[in-house]
Structure 1
Amino acid sequence: MLHKNTLLFAGLSAALWGAAVLPSQAAVVASIKPLGFIAAAIADGVTTTEVLLPDGASEHDYALRPSDVKRLQGADLVVWVGPEMEAFMQKSVSQLPQQKQVTLAALGGVKPLLMKGDDNDDHEGHGHDHSAEKGEEDHHHGEYNMHIWLSPEIARLSAVAIHDKLVELMPQNRAQLDANLQKFESGLSTTDKQVGTVLAPLKGKGYFVFHDAYGYFEKHYGLTPLGHFTVNPEIQPGAQRLHEIRTQLVEHKAVCVFAEPQFRPAVINAVARGTSVRSGTLDPLGIDVALGKDSYMQFLTGLANQYASCLKGD
């Protein structure tokens, strides 16, 4: 009888142990959704992809939960931009082995493509010196604009880097990973041309974006922003900045002002009130796009349509 109970206990503990290890049968863990889009395309059919930042949260002020730290520790591979963007991950990622992380902003091919950040405005009325915080609390106060996932060119280089790391970690899946990368590159090339066609007629139309996030996308497709309300979306723009923007709106230099799903500040409506300027929404994190092998293409197309619908006046 004892023998039977022992066997039963052993079987039960194995079942429980199996259940316990399942969640840590890890995945590719991406810091933010657009990086998850790229990773999901490469990892398709090989391993799952998860996104750390919940929908609706901002990469500018997120704090890791204990469950997030566990997910990072158990991941096959962690994909992030780097400490200037996701400062909240820096400590956890630094404890991971090098072969289990991809820091996109540090890739050799990406470094020459980095655009300088705009750190010139929004300092009025905050009462402390931001210079001491460089690279610590706010990625905008670093030297470069780190919204690199909005560059189709950098997205392709990111896909290659994720592919190469996964081949190192899972050499048995090389054929599938190679096929996934090839499919991503060809899909990206097609989508890039389509988006270029949609946006080409809008070159020269002036607009304001809510925060300084879209430079890579705008440069790639030749769009002409007049400026942004704020560098850091956590900080409301000062009175002088708003006056400058309102003057340009009244003088018809802009046809559109864009808010964001995470930040719908009343300040945008207030500044545009009484002018003929249209309001639109740009989503730099792809909140409405489901994670999947084609999601980065859907993200690019969606963003292009968000620009077009406001700038064209549909």
Structure 2
Amino acid sequence: MKKNMIALMMLFSICIVLTAGCVDEQNSSAGISDSDSGGMIVAVSVLPQAEFVEKIAGDSVKVIVMVPPGADPHSYEPTPGQLRDLSNAKLYAMVGSGITIEDNMIGKIADLNPEMVIIDCSEGITMSEMEAHAHEDEDEHDVEDEHDAEDEHGEETGMDPHIWTSPANVKLMVENIYGGLVELDPENEATYFENKNAYLAELDALDEQIKTTLSGKEGSSFMVYHPAWGYFAEHYGLVQVPVELEGKEPSVRDMQNIIDEANEKNIKVIFVQSGFSTVSASAIANEIGGEVVEVDPLAKDYIDNLAKVAEAFEKGLA
């Protein structure tokens, strides 16, 4: 009996160790891209950046992505496994545009990995202000109502952090990443340079493809739940109409004004992204006889994804 008990306890202990190992492996691998080939570790904040790095460096790097698929960069907190991976990184390519995960981490990074080179991918990019609620008719309510609206939605909206939704901005991000890679690994500068230029050519081709897709649609409006597509809209001459701002659901009055605006502009599609509530978007779609369509600003396969997003927008433009 005693021997059986000892055997069971040993088996139980082994199971605990194996289970803990599996959990830790899952937490760690959630932040590492598929190109885990054991090279120099480069950390990025969002998935599209992983493609930018890998297009330049190829298999010579291992990429850590701090915001995994389906997570919200405005609220996500890195796991202990991701932070451990980050402590071994040689380079961190920050988006640099003010996404929450970077703002929350920037004070900890120096202590976590003081030898890591940090680059700002937004360097050289002209930032735009975040889309504000434009649904309230200011002539219809008094100063007190305006003050309430400021309390609800925030007086200052800040700058739009979603700089990667414009191929023109991505070209500058790629140049900044290239500079960081060369600084750390000058021996491979020629390879990085050739790869970078090849990817810039892909981005130029994507830009022309999207312009063709959206030809004749300049000035048209599209409605989104979360205003992640401001730079895309600006680059292609479109108007983004947001439902929410800074994670806040629209008020009852906002909802009615959004519905009125959609009807006025003949908008029949509300674009949403994974990780955000679709309740308000679905309610608006029901009222306007429209539909809810998902588009992803955080997909890793940047070239293919943005081409598909452009096609979706073209069908939903008013």
Same fold at TM > 0.5: yes
| CA distance in 2: counterparts of 1:210 and 1:282, whole angstroms | 11
1:205 aligns with 2:211: no
Shift of 1:191: 1.2
Is the contact between residue 131 and residue 242 of structure 2 (CA under 8 Å) also seen in structure 1? no
Q: Which residue of 2 aligns with 1:299?
A: 305
**Pairing of 1:77-156 with structure 2 (within 5 A):** 77-82=91-96, 84-85=98-99, 86=101, 87-95=103-111, 96-97=113-114, 100-105=117-122, 107=123, 109-110=124-125, 113-119=126-132, 141-142=157-158, 144-156=159-171
SS in 1 for 2:225: strand
Change (3 A) 1:174 1:299: same
SS in 2 for 1:172: helix
Q: Which amino acid aligns with 1:258?
A: F
Q: Which amino acid aligns with 1:88?
A: N
**Pairing of 1:7-26 with structure 2 (within 5 A):** 26=40
Q: Which amino acid aligns with 1:259?
A: V
Q: Which amino acid aligns with 1:305?
A: E
Change (3 A) 1:119 1:273: closer
| CA distance in 2: counterparts of 1:124 and 1:266, whole angstroms | 23
Shift of 1:171: 1.3
**Pairing of 1:180-259 with structure 2 (within 5 A):** 180-225=195-240, 227-233=241-247, 235-259=248-272
Shift of 1:89: 2.4
Residue of 161, 170, 176 corresponding to 2:185: 170
| CA distance in 2: counterparts of 1:264 and 1:247, whole angstroms | 21
Which moved further from structure 2: 249-258 or 68-77? Answer: 249-258
Residue of 287, 292, 313 corresponding to 1:279: 292
Residue of 27, 43, 62 corresponding to 1:29: 43
Shift of 1:167: 0.9
Change (3 A) 1:30 1:272: same
Q: TM-score, normalised by structure 1?
A: 0.76
Residue of 173, 183, 189 corresponding to 1:158: 173
Change (3 A) 1:252 1:174: closer
Q: Which amino acid aligns with 1:100?
A: V
**Structure 2: runs of 5 or more not aligned:** 1-35, 136-146
Shift of 1:120: 5.1
Q: TM-score, normalised by structure 2?
A: 0.75
Question: RCO higher in 1 or 2 (8 Å CA, sep ≥ 6)?
Answer: 1
SS in 1 for 2:276: coil
SS in 1 for 2:262: helix
* Deviation digits for residues 89-120 of structure 1 (CA, Å, limit 9, x no counterpart): 22333444486111223x1x22xx11122355
Q: Which residue of 1 aligns with 2:20?
A: none
| CA distance in 2: counterparts of 1:253 and 1:178, whole angstroms | 47
Q: Which residue of 1 aligns with 2:76?
A: 62
SS in 1 for 2:131: coil
**Structure 1: runs of 5 or more not aligned:** 1-21, 135-140, 290-294
Aligned residues: 269
Identity of aligned residues (%): 25
SS in 2 for 1:202: coil
